[in-house]
Structure 1
Amino acid sequence: MHCLNQGGTFLRGCCYNARFDPAHREGKMIHARNIGQSAATPSAEADPAVLALAVSRAPLRLGVVLNPGSGANLKSPGVMRRVLDAHPQIPFREVSDPASVERALDELAPDDIDTLVVSGGDGTVQAVLNTLLGRKPFRAMPRLVLLRSGTTNMNAADAGFGGRPERALAGLIERAGLGVAGFETTQRHIMRIDRGAGRSAIYGMSFGAAAIYQGVHYCRNNVHTMGLRGEIGPGIALLRFVAALARGEHEIASPVPMSMAIDGVKHPAADCGILHVTTLDRLFLGMRPFWGEESAPLRLTCVRSHPRYLLRALPGLLRGRRNRWITPDNGYISHNAHRLEFNFDDQFVVDGEFFSTEPGCPLVLTDGGRLDFLTAHRR
């Protein structure tokens, strides 16, 4: 794991500096101080609007988590490292699995960063969320910047930077001196998933079971191996499993028996063909397959096994626009909720990572909190 030390970010109007010794060139960590802080300190009686403006223009203190094995990073090895090597004042850590993500964030936390850049796929983002919200290594929660450095990049497509990840990172570093005011920002709720049996909670932005789990598994083992990356792969898997549901081909799209409760209201047990919950505004290919009207953060969509009029319902289903075929009686349910409880015995997927239910324990999904994301340069 490669480590570089922080001396700060490039600023306009003041200077961050760092002292380096030969140990730095040997890859050892040293500690640098910010020696260019403004002497002006706002008084306790300062106008809150003025304070808010000053905070928004404070230079970003960047830290980077880099997964060189994720899709886009693996396709262009070394590109992200060259950007980071050109800016040795920015601390970064390379990661490869959830355990290394935990270590990386523990090591970055003392550097007092306020903006955490994640260069990896959806699985890397999920591991970062698990650590940030489950272990809380930072004194103050950093805002996030998600780069499209993975294979599918569904989280980054909704709440991250667009374009090639190395260009996005270089642009972010160049404009860091403008502070938050130099960027578009958004917030997203993060799901908390409790499995019971003493297991640690899981955090993420997209949960799926039944055909969603089966589709992700198929995509990873049969589509991505053909070199199809980005949103094309999940699109192909979607077509395969929708067609299987429409034709009742259970050997492809296997229904999962389950019961559920939505904000405490129990629903009868039934075979489920598709189960999806998200806090994202859009999924891959721009889909928005949810049409709940409640004011709540968890967007649930459930399609029962043997849904009626699936092909007629599909266009509205994918766009979240209810039509006369999309009804509970025909097997289509969508609600926004604060608490969801599922009872089933099968595997499920969170942000592309696979997990299993615990025997006899329900899955409980709740709101794990909101995080801030930088999404684009402000023009």
Structure 2
Amino acid sequence: MRLALIHNPLSRRNRRDGPEFIDMARAALGENFLEPRSRPGMYDEVRKLADRGIDTICISGGDGTVSDVMTAIHHAYPKNALPSLAIFPSGNTNLIAGDLGFRQRGPAALRLLLDNPEKLSHAPRRPLLVSWPDGSQPERLGMFHGSTGYARAIAIAHSPTVLRYAPHELGVIATFIGAFGALIFRGYREHWFNGDEIVLDAGGERIAHKRSFLFLATGLRHLERGIWPFWRRPGDPLDGIHFLDVADHPRRLVQATWALLRGRAPDWLRAHPDYRSGCVDKVVLRTTSDFVIDGEQISPGPGETIVIAPGPEFIFLQD
């Protein structure tokens, strides 16, 4: 195992840690312990890792850091020689680590990687590959996409007022509670329920040509606390892109939210025209609204179209 570690010094949990982990990693890995402080710096460092033949990259950070590292690898490494990934849950949000990462972090996790790699399990997974048909932006890899109402909620959660009083994962929860709670006020309710105009093709099928209250897509298979707002339809592949589209002004929203937060999709929900979900091999999304990949807000660009497809297969190491 030729191991490197990318440590995000700005993530909330890493900032709280003492020097023990950093000192240990530097002593063990030398030049292969990296603390990039910008995305261009990250990309430059990953290109150097590819040149040195590093075949295992540990990521100590949250979802945004994991997404950035996977994207950098996608552009720097040969497609037939991608490194294995080991994720330590050290960020503000850790949805990816919750499904594909280590339970341990810090010195204990690094010692396991260095001393007993044979004890690790291997989980193959394809992240989402987001591309712009007009070529306005380079391809990006990530695990959790959200548009329309989700992007609006994340924008609120990233505001200084919310971040001041809650860590990011609690800020998102508080944002949703506040947003849905505010639906009792007519002006806010209409703005939120109106959603955003989208055209959505999923697996070659036109799903929506309307306004969408909420759209989600993921390459993950599990979310925290049993939440799973997706279901498969007859004939859907066993693996692919899980998606959920909720129409504007959705009926029975309270009942649907309660079911999906518990990871359930009753028959009435599967049959309801306001809620569409499935597992497909490609999603084409046309919209003027920004979307979110692993916590980062991104523009659809002048072409107003993005394509979401399965990306290259990575091997994720787990303790």
SS at match of 1:281: coil
Confirm whether residue 76 of structure 1 aligns to residue 17 of structure 2.
yes
Query: How many residues are paired up?
Result: 312
Partner of 1:189: 126
Partner of 1:5: none
Shift of 1:186: 1.0
C-alpha distance in structure 2 between counterparts of 1:112 and 1:71, whole Å: 30
Structure showing the higher helix proportion among its residues: 2
C-alpha distance in structure 2 between counterparts of 1:134 and 1:165, whole Å: 28
C-alpha distance in structure 2 between counterparts of 1:77 and 1:227, whole Å: 22
* Residue from 262, 267, 279 that aligns with 1:336: 279
* Residue from 88, 102, 113 that aligns with 1:161: 102
C-alpha distance in structure 1 between counterparts of 2:269 and 2:156, whole Å: 27
* Residue from 156, 159, 165 that aligns with 1:218: 156
Confirm whether residue 239 of structure 1 aligns to residue 239 of structure 2.
no
Q: Which amino acid aligns with 2:228?
A: R
Percent of paired sites with the same residue: 26
Q: Deviations over 1:161-199 (max 9, x none)?
A: 123434322332232xxx4x3112212211111123222
Confirm whether residue 291 of structure 1 aligns to residue 228 of structure 2.
no
Confirm whether residue 302 of structure 1 aligns to residue 245 of structure 2.
yes
SS at match of 2:284: strand
Q: CA 1:350 to 1:239, structure 2 compared with 1: closer, same or farther past 3 Å?
A: same
* Residue from 311, 318, 323 that aligns with 2:266: 323
Q: Aligned ranges for residues 1-379 of structure 1 at < 5 Å?
A: 60-76=1-17, 78-88=19-29, 91-136=32-77, 140-175=81-116, 179=117, 181-198=118-135, 199-221=137-159, 222-229=161-168, 231-244=169-182, 249-251=189-191, 255-293=195-233, 294-295=236-237, 296-327=239-270, 329-376=272-319
Shift of 1:89: 5.3
C-alpha distance in structure 2 between counterparts of 1:215 and 1:170, whole Å: 39
Contact in 2 for aligned 1:64/1:90 (Cα 8 Å):
no
Aligned-pair RMSD on alpha carbons?
A: 2.3
Q: Deviations over 1:282-341 (max 9, x none)?
A: 224341111124114100011111111111122222244222441454511101010111
Contact in 1 for aligned 2:50/2:77 (Cα 8 Å):
no
Shift of 1:123: 1.1
Shift of 1:79: 4.1
Contact in 2 for aligned 1:159/1:186 (Cα 8 Å):
yes
Q: Which amino acid aligns with 1:344?
A: T
C-alpha distance in structure 1 between counterparts of 2:273 and 2:182, whole Å: 17
C-alpha distance in structure 1 between counterparts of 2:244 and 2:223, whole Å: 13
Q: CA 1:243 to 1:189, structure 2 compared with 1: closer, same or farther past 3 Å?
A: farther
Q: Which amino acid aligns with 1:351?
A: D
Shift of 1:65: 0.9
Q: CA 1:183 to 1:335, structure 2 compared with 1: closer, same or farther past 3 Å?
A: same
Contact in 1 for aligned 2:147/2:214 (Cα 8 Å):
yes
Shift of 1:343: 1.0
Residue ranges of structure 1 left out of the alignment (5+ in a row): 1-59
Q: Which has the higher contact order (CA 8 A, sep 6+)?
A: 2
Contact in 1 for aligned 2:3/2:29 (Cα 8 Å):
no
C-alpha distance in structure 2 between counterparts of 1:360 and 1:90, whole Å: 41
